[in-house]
Amino acid sequence: MSTKQQRPPFRLDGEVALITGDGTGLGLAMAQQMDAAGAKVVLIGQREAILAQAVAAIGSGACYEVQDVRVVAAAPHLLARAGRHFGAVSILINNAGTHLKKSALETSEAELLEVINTHVTGAFALCRAAAPAMLAQGHGVILFTASMASLFGIPQVVAYTAAKSACVGLVRALAVEFSPGGVRVNAIAPGWIESPMMRKALDDDPRRQQKILDRTPLGRFGTAEDIGLAAVYLCSDAARFVTGVVLPIDGGVSIGF
């Protein structure tokens, strides 16, 4: 029996997780929880000082590589560089993102493409780079960070909504292609989670903030730790029969009224 079969179902011992998103916010929380569950983590982003700070906070089970995920031609080289730290990547978490708060009429085509290139094109390039080795091993997990904007319409974020909705399409398409080869593909759809990105969206809009809380059955915003714990579950053997799903971590907001 292999080590992976023997380990407790919620553990990630022996796994190597590549996590995009600069080692802040949700990405940092996912890295911390995966490290706690036994995985090695490789953080990817553009801001080396912040990445170094995140790695120092996590400890010896973490490292980083500086890379802009929008440079799609660099994706195979990034996977190779990441693999030199702890071995081949077995978990890919596409978490890098950018936010744009503008009405549809004010959003230019160039701005739309900029958001899509980060959330979708860059993520797809990493999937194409990581999947062959996972499929060859018959084992791997790809996880996307989706959004409430993937599930229902939200005003003033048309570019973000388009990008996150496309991520859900990728999850479904990649799941049916990769899962027969032992590679599961899923997404987490965070609700409103305390983070710099959420504060950017809500701090100047108190009415919207209260509207969100009023329709959230648990009556609070989530924490980054909530997302990290959900990521560990979806990447662990506890979710071994789960693929192609979008899991809301939202305090019930997506079913609230």
CB 62 within 8 A of CB 23: no
| Residue 140 CB contacts under 8 Å (≥ 6 apart), including other chains | 90, 91, 92, 130, 131, 133, 134, 178, 182, 183, 184
Domain count, the chain: 1
Write the Ramachandran bin of 244: left for phi over 0, alpha for psi from -120 to 50, otherwise beta: left
CB 240 within 8 A of CB 17: no
Residue 140, domain extent: 11-194+224-249
| Residue 81 CB contacts under 8 Å (≥ 6 apart), including other chains | 65
| Torsion sign across C-alpha atoms 229, 232, 238, 243 | positive
User: What pTM does this model have?
Assistant: 0.93
Within a domain: 231? yes
Within a domain: 157? yes
Within a domain: 39? yes
Question: What is the model's pLDDT at position 196?
Answer: 73
233 is catalytic: no
DSSP-assigned letter for residue 138 = T
CATH label of the domain that carries residue 133 = 3.40.50.720
CB 148 within 8 A of CB 202: no
Query: Which residue type sits at 141?
Result: V
| Residue 43 CB contacts under 8 Å (≥ 6 apart), including other chains | 19, 21, 22, 23, 27, 28, 31, 51, 54, 55, 62, 63, 64, 65
Within a domain: 230? yes
Within a domain: 125? yes
pLDDT per position as a tens digit, 35-53: 999 999 999 999 999 999 9
Within a domain: 163? yes
pLDDT tier for residue 5 given thresholds of 50, 70 and 90: low
Within a domain: 96? yes
Task: Give the residue among 48, 80, 87 at the shortest CA–CA distance from 64.
Answer: 48
Place of tokens 């190597």: 16
Catalytic annotation, pick one of 64, 86, 144, 160: 160
Within a domain: 200? no
C-alpha span between 48 and 45 (Å, rounded): 7
pLDDT per position as a tens digit, 107-147: 999 999 999 999 999 999 999 999 999 999 999 999 999 99
pLDDT per position as a tens digit, 65-95: 999 999 999 999 999 999 999 999 999 999 9
